[in-house]
Structure 1
Amino acid sequence: MEYRRLGRTELNVSVIGFGTIKFPQVDADEANRALNRALDLGINYIDTARAYQDSESKIGAAIKDRRDEYIIATKSVTRDAAGARKDLETSLNELGIEYVDVWKIHSVSDGDMFKQVMAPGGSLSAAKKARAEGKINHIGLSMHRDLKTMKAAINSDEFEVILLPHSIINQEGVEDEVIPMAKEHDMGIVIMKPFSDGLLISNMSAEERQRADYDPIARGSLRFVASNEAISVVIPGMRNVKEVEENVAVGNMTEPLNDEELKELLAEIGKLGREFRYGQTCLMRCKYCEDVCPENIEISKVYRAVVMATSYPNNLKSMGAELYNSLDVKPSACTECQKCLDVCIANLSIIERMKDAASMFS
């Protein structure tokens, strides 16, 4: 297992961590076996949250005698100090521990939420007080969608760790600016959703999955994220020993995919024929269409702008127009040459989507 520095926390964490969001789906015995197998194989970073129902109590029961072998991160979605402190005390009790290594403010996903967290009497003040008391060691937060708020949180320098969604299909656009910025601020960067909520999983029956040594799409997707050296730890959600063993293997193969491996993986993802959320009806990664576009249209950004404008929460929909307006070449420049269609590995109706986007934002 490869270990990396978790930013300025100076903690050394396994590049593959254990996400427990799926623990409500399994019984205590299954959780016990999975967690102990993970520790045996070198995983030392475990992520949970008050919102994950009984996951904290399952963790506490499973590894209560191995406290010196793992780093525990939990989260609270409460925005005010009193409620956040209550959540922390509950977490400590459920986990059966005296302190939390990393305590994150959960799902700070727009500017209003961030203001609540940062305001006097907000949850950040509770975190600082608890840190001074030795109940938590490091403060972080988890975030979705709103890149501006992510950047504001990073620039505040109040948080040592940031938890972001990211995958080979570049789910929420954090790779180009947010991850490098967090790295520059020496934050520990934790990545969730490397399989894009299960979208990057092969089409196999339960029997086939049980017989297979590993899922090639899942392994390639996890390896892609883990190969980014700016990232400290990736936390795929896991439920059982088999999933643990499959994912732990990537902890020893973090070299970047070569061009042929990447091309093959993207082709296999394209064959899944799935609608990828947050704009990823386009894979957002291969950009073969952009390579051949004679008008230099940034097709992947057009896709993302459309879905931001149509599928994001109401207070974030304007992000779609902002992204669209930032494009140097608008999709109305499309001449319908069909070169993009010839190279699209997902067989998407790119020309029609360009027309839709031009109409929508006009």
Structure 2
Amino acid sequence: MNAAEFRAAITARAVAEGFSAVGYCAPSAIPEAAGRLAAFVAAGRHGQMGWMAERMSWRGDPAALWPEARTVIMLAESYAPGYDPLAVLAARDRAAVSCYAQGRDYHDLVKKRLKRVGRWLIEEAAKGSEAAEIKVFVDTAPVMEKPLAEAAGLGWQGKHTNLVSRDLGSWFFLGAIFTTLDLPKDEAETDRCGSCRACLDICPTGAFPAPRQLDARRCISYLTIEYRGPVDEALRPLLGNRVYGCDDCLAVCPWNKFAQAARETGYAARVGAPPLAELAALDDAGFRERFSGSPIKRIGRDRFLRNVLYAIGNSRDRRLREAAAAHLGDADPAVADAARWAVGRLAE
């Protein structure tokens, strides 16, 4: 096979493995990324995510991450929910959990699929007497997946900074295969947001200073997942009943009318919208057992319980006062503080 034929075969294999879309770009295709990242970090908008400031030379320049790479294969995998993610926000006595965390941890599922495609690529290249090396990445390495995916034609970064696709809407994960093979590249996708600003207007905390700019320090996903310690009291009421992540800016995107149903059964909702009282009663062992195999498990019981107590404080349901008061003496200062705040809110 020539390069174009091999590329077509890779795409077919990736789709057969369960990916929804595949695109190709050069490692040098995002020259503006380094400057944008540096400005983001210099403004302090990364908050406690120190890993974003580390290895910025690699994160901003994929060619520096692995100089031998000639092609970046970007792959998208749909996790589109079959329900309205915003409906649960009205159920104040229940927990709202981001769609992506409703099923099994996507890191594991996507990486296994990437490795299968990668192994096949190496084997097929060897049949043509060509040596191929690969590296696979899913969200945990210094790789800027969204700019690379845009350069590979999979979508564009919308005004909420997330990737939007004409074929997948907003609901998809990204994975990357770096390879030493020089394969034909795609044209970058163009911005198709137009005058729409639904994602900016719905944000409860005003986390977007301007279109395509995010201040993570005000983002509910950051505050409930990445942020350690007590959340600013001015922001707590704005969290509502969101205990892990936030889907608001994704859910209102008009392009979601083209979203494809998730093919991976592991993404099916198994967490649901559990009662806040039930979650507040979990000890560490119970938390680990309940969220085994879920991305929720990685934040630990203390941070999760802190979020649950904020949600209880926002519930306006005085029946939950005892569930909050039970944690006033918790060993974790942030949990005890959240319990104090929740009890005070319910007493108002």
TM (norm. structure 1) is: 0.26
Bigger relative contact order, structure 1 or 2, given CA contacts below 8 A and separation 6+?
A: 2
